[in-house]
Chains A and B, each alone.
Chain A
């Protein structure tokens, strides 16, 4: 079995690289939170009352970082592991044809994911470990009372992060890996069908809980007014989490709606890209999920903070200061790393499918430019869909908060956090177009017959 696990990993390295990269990014993000906790425990060890207060402050900040990281990791990791397995359905059908029992297929897939997660998280931890204390120092440099700590990230924390990430990856793959064992052998002979993930009751429940919490936090502002606690900053991330939870329903509908506005007959590359994005529902939803996190998380954080700042200014006459870059990076650096790497990984993982479609287009007389434009348009479509969904999150966050604040501070204006959302959208667009087109430009080109030959 070990031989099957390793040889298949080698053979399909292009697909497994996505899970590897996301595991590494998740470990890097988790290392930041682990470093904060380790630093806090070290302070508690001193036993001085002032240090206990500082440890408490650090724990609050760490919990915020952990919540934001969980939002990103939950959305991205599940999508990537599901995509990793769906892209290899043909291979699993072949395994079953040669007599591998379906239960063994499931076990092999779980073992493969465990190996990839272990390697990925170890790489991620090793790469960031030397920089975590310096990053924490930088991130806390503007926080009163948390400057000048003895920031740490030791081997024990590193091992805990690697193990935690590996366990989370394997747990997130339980359902998809069971599906791998249920692939019918006949799929070897069939063109791939559009595999659509059902929005399970757990997703609906997760979405409902996140929405409920966001509503409760928003309603808490009605009574507290500008004296509301910092937890209201979680309204946006909670709405983002709700959106990604029911993404398989929301994203395809949003994608089809806005792309149908552009006439398909204007450009063959647009026509092909639109159909590919709408057809590969799971692949598109995985990428859009990660992109929504990338755009909505920083945007909604700023939207919440600035809308509250608007009310504070109307009450006290002073703005109360803005979010400093250091704190934002400390809170969002890890989650954004996970979501950006996740989005890029989902695009790169589908390289083989895209190569086959490109070969068919070229065999039908399409030019290389058409193939490249198709890849670029597909990225634009995915980012465009994410921007639309993220915009809805920002509007809901800002308007909900403004309406709640207006009860005690009439005239409070909503702020959409565009100063963070727009650069995030731009970075996403550049990264997605690059991830879609660069492999086509620089990759070793196989001949059309070779690409289209039966596996």
Chain B
């Protein structure tokens, strides 16, 4: 049996509430993601899906539980090791503010390699740009690109870094249908043999592109759907909202 690329066990996370209380956001989430898998996380507002993504990707510390990515336990890593993990093992696609405004698309793509003092050839960068259909936009700065093009550059950056797991937080949240479709197609292609994608979304059609959909409710995994269609995702979400 193939070992999971990403594994979380009994993950909890809370935020400060009124009068020194704590508001629990994640209540013992356990999940695993296999190599090549495309997993979507959906749930009603406030169900903890974005917090889960940030905890899984080492952007946000968690209170208890464990997370391992490509065999590395996050809670045992020191800050420098976490930085190395971000450089080589994980990639991010955020909803917005993905790119450094002062750098061109090409320079943004080469940035992780440059930070890691890893050589990256112009051919590699060009190939990544071509794979997202932006071969002719390499010298454009983010301000001169549309929202969809910026997301595609962010995915090209991920492709050039060759990470094990890609985390995407509402990657189509600020895009129209056509641009969103193009971004989802690319993410689908990113999840291949050795690489997995974990995506948080509120878009049912987007979730239906995934191999597996996790429905979160009140900080726990409420349901898990394999290869669902949009109607099944909607039904699961509605049930989650009603039972909440």
Contact = CB atoms under 8 A, between A and B. Distances in A.
Given A192-B143, A363-B92, A366-B115, A448 B97 contact: no
Interface string B83-102: 11111100010111111111
A1 interface: no
B184 interface: no
Instruction: Give the interface size class of chain B.
Output: 35 or more
Contact of B87 (A191, A194, A364): A364
Interface stretch (A24-32, A210-218, A275-283, A309-317): A275-283
Interface string A270-288: 0110011011100000000
Interface string B24-62: 000000000000000000000000001000100001100
9 contacts: A265-B114, A272-B103, A275-B103, A360-B97, A365-B84, A368-B79, A370-B115, A447-B54, A454-B174
B111 interface: yes
Contacts of A193: 101, 141, 143-144
Interface string A357-381: 1001111111110100000000000
Given A363-B86, A449-B54, A191 B174 contact: no
B143 A191 contact: yes
Interface string A440-452: 0000000111001
B142 interface: yes
Given A189-B174, A271-B114, A363-B86, A454 B95 contact: yes
Nearest to B117: A268
A74 interface: no
Nearest to A192: B101
Contacts, number: 98
A454 B173 CA distance: 10
A190 interface: yes
A356 interface: yes
B150 A367 contact: no
A256 to B, nearest CB: 13
Nearest to A276: B102
A448 B98 CA distance: 12
B54 A364 contact: no
Contacts of A271: 114
Contacts of B50: 449
B100 A365 contact: no
A365 B112 contact: yes
Question: Quick one: which of A192, A265, A278, A364 has the most chain B CB within 10 A?
Answer: A364
Contact of B141 (A279, A363, A453): A279
Of the candidates A193, A360, A361, A365, the one having the most CB atoms from chain B within 10 angstroms of its own CB is A365
Contacts of A194: 101-102, 141, 143
Contacts of A357: 100-102
B116 interface: yes
A100 to B, nearest CB: 22
A370 B79 CA distance: 13
Given A194-B101, A275-B107, A454-B174, 11 more contacts: A189-B174, A190-B147, A192-B143, A268-B117, A275-B103, A363-B92, A364-B87, A364-B111, A364-B157, A365-B115, A367-B83
A356 to B, nearest CB: 6
Contacts of B142: 191
Closest 3 CB pairs of A and B: A365-B87, A279-B102, A193-B143
Contacts of B79: 368
